[in-house]
Amino acid sequence: MMSANPDLDYRGVKHILAGTSKIIDADRRVDLFGVDLHSWVTNAAGFNFHNWYGFGKADADAAVQAAAIFDQNLLGTQAFQEISAEFSSPIAIEDFAGRSANISIIPEAGKQGVVEFIRLLVNFNATDTSTLNDIGITITSPSGTTHSVLQPFTNVEGQPTFYWAIGVAGFYGEDLSGDWEVAVFDFNDDGTSPGSWVGVKMEVYYR
């Protein structure tokens, strides 16, 4: 791709790969208690994304052809914002229930306001280490796209109190501006609370 267009940088390469890659294993889907954990999701900008396969199987021919005619300047420069939401008191996650927080984001003036990448940090006090596995986290964009960014029962290990960083690529190309919803669920209907949600931070890379 960079031989076809030496002006490309990593953002240009990512943009082209995300737009030219093909859906693979289209039926791979896991839905648990109404929450979509793994499936192909077409976001509001038209990009397909799957938690297992990313943007899909790279199509080398299509990517090189697109690279040859791509104007890197269309992407502009990248901007960064960090928005933290802390709760006035920790929010207990009830047994087999979810809580959600809305975070409003406004891009800097002069920017396109288009998402490139999100890093989500969730501050959680688990009842004990084992209950970490009961937790699932989703994000819903202002455009209405929902991605599961942490799946339950995946043998997660760590400190009961953690500030968990999760990279989120599936909103690529969507509008940044508006209310983003972050939701934390307890997926284990065992009669116990997995712990308390203390706060959340979104680090947004956009153009």
Partner 1 sequence: MMRIFLILFVIVALNILFADRYLIPKTPIPADQIIIKNSVDAVPQRILLDSKIYQKENQEFVITLNNQTRNNAISMGLKEVSSYKAVEMPNGNYELTDMKLLLQYKDAGYVENIGFDYGLDIIDSMPAINVVILQARDVTQLNDLMINLTADSRVVDVSFNLVEMSEVPE
Applying CB under 8 A, the residues found at the interface with partner 1 are 33-35, 80-89, 91, 96-104, 108, 123, 159, 161-163, 183, 185-187, 199, 201
Which bin fits 59, alpha (ψ -120 to 50), beta or left (φ > 0)? beta
- In terms of CB distance, is 8 or 114 closer to partner 1? 114
Closest among 73, 79, 77, 85 to 108, alpha carbons compared: 79
User: Residue 13 belongs to what H/E stretch?
Assistant: helix 10-20
CB of 79 to partner 1, least distance (A): 10
- In terms of CB distance, is 54 or 90 closer to partner 1? 90
CB of 171 to partner 1, least distance (A): 19
CB of 186 to partner 1, least distance (A): 8
- What span, in angstroms and rounded, lies between the C-alpha atoms of 20 and 14? 10
Closest among 160, 163, 135, 170 to 150, alpha carbons compared: 135
CB of 11 to partner 1, least distance (A): 21
Which bin fits 153, alpha (ψ -120 to 50), beta or left (φ > 0)? left
- In terms of CB distance, is 1 or 114 closer to partner 1? 114
- In terms of CB distance, is 16 or 105 closer to partner 1? 105
Q: Which own/partner contact pairs does 26-29 have at CB distance under 8 Å and 24+ positions apart?
A: 28/52, 28/53
CB of 80 to partner 1, least distance (A): 8
Which residues, at least 6 apart from 106, have a Cβ–Cβ distance to it below 8 Å?
177
Identity of the amino acid at 152? P
- In terms of CB distance, is 42 or 104 closer to partner 1? 104
CB of 92 to partner 1, least distance (A): 11
Using DSSP's 3-state secondary structure scheme, residue 201 falls into strand
- In terms of CB distance, is 67 or 126 closer to partner 1? 126
